[in-house]
Amino acid sequence: MSRPWPCVGCGVACPGAAGCWRNTGRPASRPLAASPCRFGGRWRIDGVSFEFLWPLDARPERKGVQANAGSCVLRVRGQYHSLLLTGDIGARTEASLVRRGLTPADIVVAAHHGSRTSSSAPFVQAAAARHVIVQVGRWNRHGHPNGAVLDRWRRSGATIWRTDWQGGVNAQSRSTGLSLYSVLESSRRYWHGRRP
């Protein structure tokens, strides 16, 4: 059953507390913002489909490594390209996704900030990403991303994008192709210094 999505920040007219409505008179078919992610959850908005691939169950209280293993994994598919958001999953969860038939994605956000416990060879091969975004802070105390992980993605043919070097990364998917660019490099100021 489809439920209306709460009005917060949706940018469309909202008559009363019934939820977001476009000018069609029907509630928008979107999940509630507070709904837990769980395998099989899916929805479609403006021609873009979203599907949770993980976790298989929804346990609200996970601690330590279990919390990472329960990270949401979301596949986003547009008309021309796809994106895989991996959260903090590790190699065991990646192996489960591969066994369950993980299909290629044009862009993958590297799991667990590119830590050595993620981006296993079978996962990298199955994901077959053309671009990999590593969300990581400069000089982070964990030493992310791991060099071997970056090498594994590069050997697979992926272009690496690092938020510690390039800031935010924008992707544009069009019929003419997929393009990514660094927000920091496209609007660099002298005080940003040189990229390492």
Higher pLDDT, 40 or 158: 158
Q: What is the pLDDT of residues 41-89, one digit of tens each?
A: 889 999 999 999 988 876 666 666 566 677 889 999 999 999 999 988 9
Give the type of residue at 15.
P
Give percent of the chain above pLDDT 90: 46
Q: What is the pLDDT of residues 7-33, one digit of tens each?
A: 333 333 333 333 433 444 455 555 555
pLDDT for 114 equals 81
Q: What is the pLDDT of residues 146-186, one digit of tens each?
A: 899 999 999 999 999 998 888 889 999 999 999 998 887 77
pLDDT for 148 equals 93
Residue whose structure tokens are 């008309």? 79
Residue 6 · residue 31 · CB < 8 Å: no
Residue 57 · residue 69 · CB < 8 Å: no
**DSSP state letters, 27-84:** B-----TTPPP-TT-EEEETTEEEEEEE-SS--S---THHHHHT--EEEEE-SS-EEE
Q: 145: cis peptide before it, omega within 30°?
A: yes
Cα separation, 19 vs 31, in Å, equals: 11
pLDDT for 130 equals 97
pLDDT for 65 equals 58
Residue 183 · residue 192 · CB < 8 Å: no
CA 195 to the chain's CA centroid: 25
Cα separation, 94 vs 121, in Å, equals: 10
- Please give the span between the terminal C-alpha atoms of the chain, in angstroms, as a whole number: 50
Per-residue pLDDT, averaged over 111-117, amounts to 81
pLDDT for 112 equals 77
This prediction's pTM: 0.75
pLDDT for 185 equals 73
